[in-house]
A and B are shown apart, each in its own frame.
Chain A
């Protein structure tokens, strides 16, 4: 790890001021993506701005929404009875991230800002039509995840919370990479007043909505309705873990399991 100057601001405003004045500053939340990256010298920020004392943590359920402070760790979402009552699929998703120690440190804000193509939370955000609340504005999930490790966040913008509308039904099914436990393919489905959403992570360079499946589920929210819908493999990832063809197959299987879970 290269040298850096460490800061621990008490507020988000202070963190933004530090970001603006730094040569090449980076925010640190749980550190479970950033620190491994810095150890490998793939990132070498001049300044590390620790959000540990500045970010909101905690979960609020009101007005038909579950709002989660950006600094909330995965374990707290996984074990929250409020989340389990409102959106059980979201609590389940959090309980499947990494391992217990990772869940004690990694945060929802860090996961979403990082937008790893195989991360779990981006599927929940897109699959529920969440709103990402930042220091500057509110961004709809549909506009937030712009590409591989890329988001709509500006240079000096901090995620402060994520707001999930409570759906009528939702489910998440993931085929974990057996070594890393990231999603080889994960599919989040929901049925709500606003319509059906099917979000796929792990399969492509960035989380995406599966429009053909959404259309098929619109009239009949049952796994049988998507039994014949296939995922094209043209734009999917191919690596030592799985070919694009295999991932495309998994999208169908995970989507059907997610719908069964939502309706079961």
Chain B
């Protein structure tokens, strides 16, 4: 079995894994980080989005061994010292979630979006940028509001 080492939420981790282990399976089953969700497993829904070396990727469409040496951030790595990340706070404040299943992927996609576009995110940009994240509950309106508000707070 190949061995893999990476940094997850700031901690060094390593393991011997079956080569076909997906990054999301490694995070959830080996590391117990079950905040990252699997919605579709067919690369469509974005529930599994994490950051690998600072970029949002679908962890259901990446082998764990492909993240060798990478820095991975999951939803568990967003809050600092018990304080919610501004994006998490904005989703809470603006009612950007109902069942919450899509939320970890939404938060990781949204923080990546703000990192690339800065604080002046307009609604059209946010909606276009959310093409890879599906929500079956909210109808997106409050997600869009939450991201716009968080972008301002983070800027």
Contact = CB atoms under 8 A, between A and B. Distances in A.
Contact of B113 (A4, A38, A100, A181): A100
B19 interface: yes
A5 B1 CA distance: 9
Nearest to B130: A99
Contacts of B18: 3
Interface in B94-124: 109, 112-113
Given A35-B63, A36-B42, 15 more contacts: A1-B20, A31-B61, A35-B62, A38-B20, A98-B131, A99-B46, A100-B56, A100-B113, A100-B132, A101-B49, A102-B58, A102-B132, A104-B57, A105-B61, A105-B62
B19 A48 contact: yes
A8 interface: yes
Interface string B40-70: 0111101001000001111001110110100
Contacts of B68: 8
Interface in B68-91: 68
A31 B66 contact: yes
B129 interface: yes
B155 interface: no
A120 to B, nearest CB: 14
Contacts of A209: none
B10 interface: no
Contacts of A99: 46, 131-133
Main secondary structure of the interface of A (DSSP, over half): mixed
Given A36-B61, A50-B66, A3 B42 contact: no
A92 interface: no
A181 B129 CA distance: 13
Interface of B: 2, 18-20, 41-44, 46, 49, 55-58, 61-63, 65-66, 68, 109, 112-113, 129, 131-133
Given A3-B18, A6-B2, A101 B65 contact: no
A32 interface: yes
A3 B43 contact: no
A31 B62 contact: yes
Contact of B19 (A5, A98, A105, A180): A5
A39 interface: yes
27 contacts: A3-B18, A3-B19, A3-B20, A4-B20, A5-B19, A6-B63, A32-B43, A35-B61, A35-B62, A35-B63, A36-B61, A50-B65, A50-B66, A52-B66, A75-B55, A98-B131, A99-B131, A100-B56, A100-B112, A100-B131, A101-B56, A101-B132, A102-B43, A102-B58, A104-B56, A105-B61, A180-B44
Contacts of B42: 36, 39
A52 B2 CA distance: 16
